[in-house]
Amino acid sequence: MKDFNTGFTNKSYFHIIKSIVEGVYERNFDIRKFDFNFRDDSSINACADYDKQGNYDILKINTGTIIEIVALMKTAFAQRNILSNFGNANEEKNAIYTGEYVYTNNKHELIFSTQNTIVDPCREQLSFYVALIAIRFVFTHEVGHIVNGHTRLMNDLYMNSKIYMRMEKSNNIVQYCLDRRTLEMDADAAAATSSIDNILILYEQDKDGLEDMQIYSIESLLELWGFSIACVFLLFELNCRTNYDLKSYYLPNSARYILAIDAARQTLLSYKRNKVISYTMDAGMYDKAVTKGLIEAEKLFRLYSDDLSLSKDLLSNRKKFELFSKEVNENWNKNLRERLNKYSRTVLFSEEETEQAIIDMKKKEEKKLRRVMQEILKKLR
């Protein structure tokens, strides 16, 4: 396996993803202390790490992650009966895409192939956009591990700062496993919060761009968002089935999904209360749109497995879900949250602190707007 972060064209998936990853990190932190790489690995995974000696943050995304997500989204929009209210789905030929990573002529490339390509240009564009939403969730999960102090805390507590988004193994040290499950919940919350912020602000600021993709309402945009988030966890589940196990590093994917959706909902409602967004939105609209996205995602995964369903798993394991989610929340509130204050470089997730952070953000934006207006008025005098 080799790592790389150069040697691809400006229009490639690699360049676009690298630009977004480094942009998200650089927005608040010193990019000189950040080492981002792609890893030539066909498995679906990403990794956050911390180099204590050099004092810099590390993030790696496997080529397999990008391939599987992009191929999946292309397949979704090549189907006549999936997300059929977007673009002209009637023309599609139910194509299945596959992808591969190649290194040729000193260049890293991703190649996608299929017997029949996506027919409708709008759906082709949407497949790319929705793939980026899903990939963004994966790497902001890893950025969450980094900026929330997880890698540094784990290095001091357990002498191992490397945290993968998914691993197919367990550990006999129950407290270590509980700590890992709790930190994964926090990283999912960080990714969900960042992801929904991106969506809500995008709809506020770029309606024209969205209408070019025939996205005419916030409900439609949230359906696509909900579809992409569900696809991330369904893809994890497809590759490795999870269960409620005290020796697991992760909550089951269905539990991770619902907790991430809840974290995003809290952020959305806080944005609404503090008038960060000017359009009409409420919890009922959010739930309905995201549920539609989930239904479409589960429909897509029936192409790959007959028994894969986040919603059915949550219903059949409701009591276990309540028990395990309570356990990680208690571990977060009683143990890890206080310890992380020493290492965190951002607001740690809680309803109260998230609300205050959004209030502060709104004040900062209003102050910035006042400064801009004052400069304009000066020039007009």
* pLDDT reading at 376 higher than 50: no
* pLDDT reading at 171 higher than 90: no
* pLDDT reading at 381 higher than 90: no
* pLDDT reading at 353 higher than 90: no
Alpha-carbon span 325 to 295, nearest angstrom: 23
* pLDDT reading at 22 higher than 90: yes
Strands 163-164 and 34-39: what pairing? unpaired
pLDDT at site 232: 98
pLDDT at site 136: 96
Alpha-carbon span 144 to 197, nearest angstrom: 14
DSSP string, 140-195: HHHHHHHHTTHHHHHHHHHS---EES--S-B-S-HHHHHHHHHHHHHHHHHHHHHH
* pLDDT reading at 373 higher than 80: no
pLDDT per residue as tens digits for the range 135-155: 999 999 999 999 999 999 999
Query: Lowest mean pLDDT: which of 32-46, 56-70, 168-182, 339-353?
Result: 339-353
Predicted TM-score (pTM) of this structure: 0.92
Reduced to 3 states, what is the DSSP secondary structure of residue 114?
coil
pLDDT at site 369: 45
- For 4, which DSSP code? E
pLDDT at site 172: 79
pLDDT band at 217 (very low <50, low <70, confident <90, very high): very high
pLDDT at site 372: 43
Mean pLDDT, the chain, rounded, equals 91
Query: Lowest mean pLDDT: which of 100-109, 212-221, 274-283, 318-327?
Result: 274-283
Reduced to 3 states, what is the DSSP secondary structure of residue 342?
coil
Strands 34-39 and 56-62: what pairing? parallel
pLDDT band at 170 (very low <50, low <70, confident <90, very high): low
pLDDT at site 364: 65
